Structure 1
Amino acid sequence: MSVETQAIAPSMLWAGRVISGLVIAFLLLDAGMKLVPLRPVLDAMQSLGFSGGDSLARAMGLLLLACTLLYALPGTAPLGALLLTGYLGGAIAVQLRAGNPWFSHVLFGAYVGIALWAGLLLRSSPLRALLFPSIP
């Protein structure tokens, strides 16, 4: 059963698709920069305490790409959202450990995660009913 199979108000459905599309575009860009890997990505990883170099960046890029593709496909979107939540939680922990500023760095993963779940909940009435039974 697909995430988008039950009747949803068109405005909610499109709002969810737009939000999810923006999140997917951002995560695909992030995954692509890790897969290449670009020098700024490697420098940022080193400043955060990661010493794996190209191979670690590519592995993180593949992981992010796989989770993002799961989120992008309607049938596996809830699984993708759950996996991406874990990935973003790790990003938050790394930024926190590095002592970076809260609102611009530490909480950025939370901002993406909130948008990710908002987009999914807006376009999925079965998931909304499961998580929030009292909200139509």
Structure 2
Amino acid sequence: MVSTPALWTGRVMSGLAVLFLLFDGGIKLVPLEIVITTSKEMGLPATEAFARFLGVVTLVCTALYAWPRTALLGAVVLTGLFGGAIATHLKLHSPLFSHTLFGLYLGILVWGGLWLRDPRVRQVMPFLA
């Protein structure tokens, strides 16, 4: 059994991750000009269709994570999404701590929040038990 403060800490961590990912997916759905410009700079297809595709993928993965019954699946697919972002930034020699590792920071937020709020995850990964 996890304490109430730990449970709420997990909910806040997960909530922050979800809010960021909703924003990220939303700006890709519109898509804002900065999304197209950045995609071009990163060597990705600089089309509205590709930006919308990334937005839909991000929002679907986020919805899976936000829904308690599918949160574990959502965390797994978000980890893949973050891994792709990290790989892209590594390829481009982006700044390490601000750009390249940002996916890692989000992954820690996603998995840490899930670990604190879901007893099933703590059973599988009993780090602090």
Alignment TM-score, normalising by the size of structure 1:
0.91
State the AA in 2 paired with 1:36.
V
Q: 5+ unaligned residues in a row in structure 1: which ranges?
A: 1-6
Higher relative contact order (CA 8 A, sep 6+): 1
Residue matched to 1:37: 31
Q: How does 1:60-75 map to 2 (within 5 A)?
A: 60-75=54-69
Alignment of 1:46-57 (within 5 A): 46-57=40-51
- 1:92 maps to 86
2:128 is matched with 135
Matching of residue 124 in structure 1 with residue 118 in structure 2: yes
CA RMSD in angstroms comes to 1.1
Structure 1 CA distance for aligned equivalents of residues 64 and 12 of structure 2: 17
Runs of 4+ aligned residues of structure 1 deviating over 4 Å after TM superposition are none
Q: Percent identity?
A: 47
In the TM superposition, what is the alpha-carbon distance from 1:52 to its structure 2 partner?
4.3
**TM-score, length basis structure 2:** 0.96
- CA–CA separation in structure 1 for the residues paired with 2:120 and 2:93: 39
| Matches of 2:92 and 2:98, distance apart in 1 | 13
Which letter maps to 1:9? Answer: S
- Partner deviation per Cα, 1:86-125 (whole Å, 9 max, x = no partner): 0000000011111111001100010001111000001012
The answer as to whether partners of 1:95 and 1:105 remain within 8 angstroms in 2 is yes
Q: Is the 8 A contact 1:129 1:135 kept in 2?
A: no
